[in-house]
């Protein structure tokens, strides 16, 4: 029910369901109000700008100290934010295919895919797009909502990814519909959105990232896909330690692909990866440990299967950060101290299991322990 004390502009019209009533509003750190639709619960800034290009100037991917928009260190963020996406794509299409990454930035995700891929990107920022193009990505546009764009690429892609991009567009429903139109019949759209959670702290989303236009809730996201004929959608809220939630989801028209996705999402979110296949365990660790920062002794004991394939210095840096934060938390409470001890014990068990004799190529775990100062 709308809040009777809420004053809203007479012109409010929800981009997702067409509703004209606002249920509630929240003020961001910069004073801009976010209005939540009474019909579908999608959140949107009170005044949508006419264009968004002003947000994505060249310092967006390499933020100036104290700037309000963008990423502090894009490559580092991308490395741990996108590993699960890479593994999910490779599980869905082991041989490759045609892929479009909406908001591809410097092509980080596309460059890292294994297999034979025709790599396409949409990118607003020209400097980032030029780097992507140099690395073999065909940049096919700057805006998924450009007139005629979706029609020109109808049915063209096996995979479309939209990772932290749909919240930036001027019309989220049109962006989703355009993406679905560009998928091949068995194609899959993989997305991640910032989530206004019902149960977790949302302050990261309200006190930064002021270029965001949409503030999705679970109900709002479900409404977004419910209106598309023949489209099946599933997803889940992430619970990133120390950060507000995101929502990871996937959509397809193909029932078999939908079932495959359900299995892959179950592997990603499994509490205990011990019994999973190596590939499923890698997906679990890329999501739960590298993305979500939630190590458990069972996950740490399976880390070798991830590190032997996917170790990079940035991943080492991310994991070192993780253990440092764990240690800081451990100082704060007995429960966390016990948790940290079991993590510590699992790490020691891993280290004890390393081969004694030096090998031609350093074992990835040795590099990891070197990074974490062990």
| CA–CA dist 67, 209 (Å, integer) | 10
Residues 23-62, one symbol each (x = binds Zn ion by CB under 5 A, - = not), give --------------x-xx----------------------
Nearest Cα residue to 172 out of 153, 198, 148, 144: 144
In whole angstroms, how far apart are CA 295 and each of 282, 306, 324, 340, 346? 13, 13, 12, 10, 11
Tell me the number of residues near Zn ion by CB under 5 A.
Answer: 7
Instruction: Work out how close the CB of 296 gets to Zn ion at its nearest, in angstroms, rounded to a whole number.
Output: 38
CA angle in degrees (0–180, nearest 5) for 6-11-16: 90
Instruction: Work out how close the CB of 18 gets to Zn ion at its nearest, in angstroms, rounded to a whole number.
Output: 7
40/264 with CB nearer Zn ion: 40
37/346 with CB nearer Zn ion: 37
| CA–CA dist 209, 45 (Å, integer) | 12
26/204 with CB nearer Zn ion: 26
111/219 with CB nearer Zn ion: 219
With b for 16 or more beta-carbon neighbours within 10 A and e for fewer, the 13-41 pattern comes to: ebbbbebeebbebeebeeeebbbbbbbbb
Q: Is 172 in the site for Zn ion (CB under 5 A)?
A: no
Q: Is 19 in the site for Zn ion (CB under 5 A)?
A: yes
Instruction: Work out how close the CB of 21 gets to Zn ion at its nearest, in angstroms, rounded to a whole number.
Output: 9
14/365 with CB nearer Zn ion: 14
Stretch that binds Zn ion, among 12-20, 98-106, 241-249, 303-311 (CB under 5 A): 12-20
Residue 158 structure tokens: 């096996």
Instruction: Work out how close the CB of 38 gets to Zn ion at its nearest, in angstroms, rounded to a whole number.
Output: 8
The number of beta carbons lying within 10 Å of the beta carbon of residue 89 is 27
Q: Is 129 in the site for Zn ion (CB under 5 A)?
A: no
Cα pseudo-dihedral 131, 137, 140, 145, rounded to 10: -80
Instruction: Work out how close the CB of 28 gets to Zn ion at its nearest, in angstroms, rounded to a whole number.
Output: 20
Instruction: Work out how close the CB of 218 gets to Zn ion at its nearest, in angstroms, rounded to a whole number.
Output: 14
| CA–CA dist 177, 261 (Å, integer) | 20
Burial of 210 (0-12, 13-18, 19+ CB in 10 A): middle
212/257 with CB nearer Zn ion: 212
Q: Where does this chain bind Zn ion (CB under 5 A)?
A: 14, 16-17, 19, 37, 39-40
């Amino acid at each position: 029910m709308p809040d009777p004390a809420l004053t809203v502009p007479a012109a409010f019209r929800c981009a997702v369901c067409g509703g004209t009533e606002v249920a509630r509003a929240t003020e961001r750190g910069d004073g801009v109000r976010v209005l939540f639709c009474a019909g579908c619960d999608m959140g949107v800034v009170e005044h949508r700008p006419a264009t968004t290009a002003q947000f994505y100037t060249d310092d967006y991917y390499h933020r100036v100290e104290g700037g309000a928009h963008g990423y502090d260190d894009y490559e580092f963020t991308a490395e741990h934010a996108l590993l699960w996406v890479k593994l999910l794509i490779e599980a869905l299409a082991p041989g490759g295919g045609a892929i479009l990454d909406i908001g591809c930035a410097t092509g980080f995700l596309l460059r890292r895919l294994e297999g034979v891929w025709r790599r396409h990107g949409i990118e607003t920022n020209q400097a980032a797009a030029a780097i992507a193009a140099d690395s073999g990505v065909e940049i096919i546009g700057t805006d998924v909502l450009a007139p005629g764009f979706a029609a020109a690429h109808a049915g063209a892609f096996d995979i479309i990814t939209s990772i932290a991009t749909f919240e930036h567009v001027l019309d989220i429903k049109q962006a989703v519909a355009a993406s679905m139109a560009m998928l091949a019949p068995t194609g899959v759209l993989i997305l991640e959105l910032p989530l206004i959670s019902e149960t977790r702290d949302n302050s990261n989303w309200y006190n930064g990232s002021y270029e965001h236009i949409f503030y999705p809730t679970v109900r709002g996201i479900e409404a977004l896909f419910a209106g598309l004929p023949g489209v099946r959608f599933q997803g889940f809220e992430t619970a990133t330690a120390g950060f507000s939630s995101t929502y990871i989801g996937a959509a397809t028209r193909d029932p078999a692909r939908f079932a495959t996705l359900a299995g892959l999402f179950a592997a990603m979110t499994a509490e205990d990866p011990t019994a999973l296949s190596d590939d499923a365990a890698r997906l679990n660790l890329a999501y739960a440990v590298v993305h979500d920062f939630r190590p458990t002794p069972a996950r740490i004991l399976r880390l070798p299967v991830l590190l032997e394939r996917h170790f990079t210095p940035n991943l080492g840096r991310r994991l070192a950060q993780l253990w440092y934060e764990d240690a800081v938390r451990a100082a704060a409470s007995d429960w966390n101290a016990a948790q940290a001890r079991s993590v510590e014990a699992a790490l020691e068990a891993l280290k004890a299991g390393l081969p004694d004799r030096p090998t031609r190529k350093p074992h990835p775990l040795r590099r990891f322990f070197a990074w974490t100062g062990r």
